[in-house]
Structure 1
Amino acid sequence: MSRAVLIGPPGSGKSTLGRLLADKLGVGYRDTDADVEAVAGKPVSDIFIEDGEERFRELEFAAVRAALAEHDGVLSLGGGAILREDAQELLAGHPVVYLQVGLTDAVQRVGLASARPLLVLNPRSQLKKLMEARRPIYERLAVLTVATDGREPAELVEEIAKGLGA
């Protein structure tokens, strides 16, 4: 079983904090978006454009299922990986950490010109809607919620490790 599974919207710090937490705990780090890209042979943004969101979500679910079964380190899930009910069921019993971020910090971290497929048209508005729609799921799945706004990664890693009893 993973030592920590990080969930949260784009810009919450899953990748950055995941790597730092893995280093602190002396375990491996894995990111399901990177797993999806490796399987598809192209970036997530290209999968969305060329194959559609439904195909991406299928690949993402397969990546989440495999990572939860195989990886015993720190795992970062794509922001929407928690949307499928079967993915939510797989997360039960895992040390899920919800990285909570406000819209202002998320926008600054994501950058509005980034290649985030779900944020193409009106990035700030899209990100706000996405965050509001997913928040109840993130909150329900989490065994630990950490507010990331305006905080340094090292401080957050300490709080996560302590919160998980590591």
Structure 2
Amino acid sequence: MSAPSVVLVGPMGVGKSTVGRLLAERLQVGFRDTDEDIVAEQGRTIADIFVEDGEEVFRAAEKQAVGRALAEHTGVLALGGGAVLDAGTRELLARHQVVYLSMDVEEAARRTGLNAARPLLAINPRKQWRELMEARRHLYEEVARSIVATDDRTPEEVTQEVLDALELKEA
């Protein structure tokens, strides 16, 4: 069975895609982002899916995308921020090298602006982000083999810490 070499989880805006691409480059493997898979499959943005069909429809598409990617992809895989909400997904992740990229609310505000382009943060973004993290932090920690803080660090520094944490050698 094939499996991703690394799976990145964490909140929106933490840098999963940026770090994932850097990791893939350094490991000389492919990179895949399940949010990008969903957008390509649906032909519309995640925000549009939320607005037009609701979170439940998005989460069902996300669960399918994650399951496919975990089964098919052998490189670095980045999951959407809410992918860990599904118990079946968390069960699948137990067999993989998962890294939780963490950040605090101030870092989230700096990186993303906590703006309306993030559908779950449309009203009172800082409060919403804190509530999302209270609900999700333990799930990220549950699935992770390693936790790497990203606050005040460059993507290159985070990438190196992920490699070190998982004891992976560059290709």
Alignment TM-score, normalising by the size of structure 1: 0.97
Contact (CA 8 Å) 1:11, 1:101: kept in 2 or not?
Answer: no
2:99 alignment partner, SS class: strand
> Would you say the 8 A contact 1:11–1:105 is kept in 2?
no
- How many residues get paired? 166
1:94 aligns with 2:93: no
State the Cα distance separating 1:112 from its structure 2 match. Answer: 2.7
Q: Which residue, 73, 76, 85 being the options, matches 2:75?
A: 73
Aligned residue among 118, 124, 132 for 1:130? 132
Counterpart of 2:14, as a letter, is: S
Corresponding residue of 1:59: 61
- For 2:167 and 2:116, how far apart are their aligned partners in 1? 35
Equivalent position of 1:2 in the other structure: 4
Structure 2 gaps, min length 5: none
Structural mapping, 1:6-155, within 5 Å: 6-155=8-157
User: What letter is aligned with 2:19?
Assistant: L
Whether contact under 8 Å (1:60, 1:81) holds in the other structure is yes
What CA distance in whole angstroms lies between the structure 2 residues aligned with 1:51 and 1:40? Answer: 11
Q: Deviations over 1:109-157 (max 9, x none)?
A: 1113341110011111101110111000101110010011001111111
C-alpha RMSD of the superposition:
0.8
**SS of the residue aligned with 1:94?**
coil
- Runs (4 or more) in structure 1 with deviation over 4 Å come to none
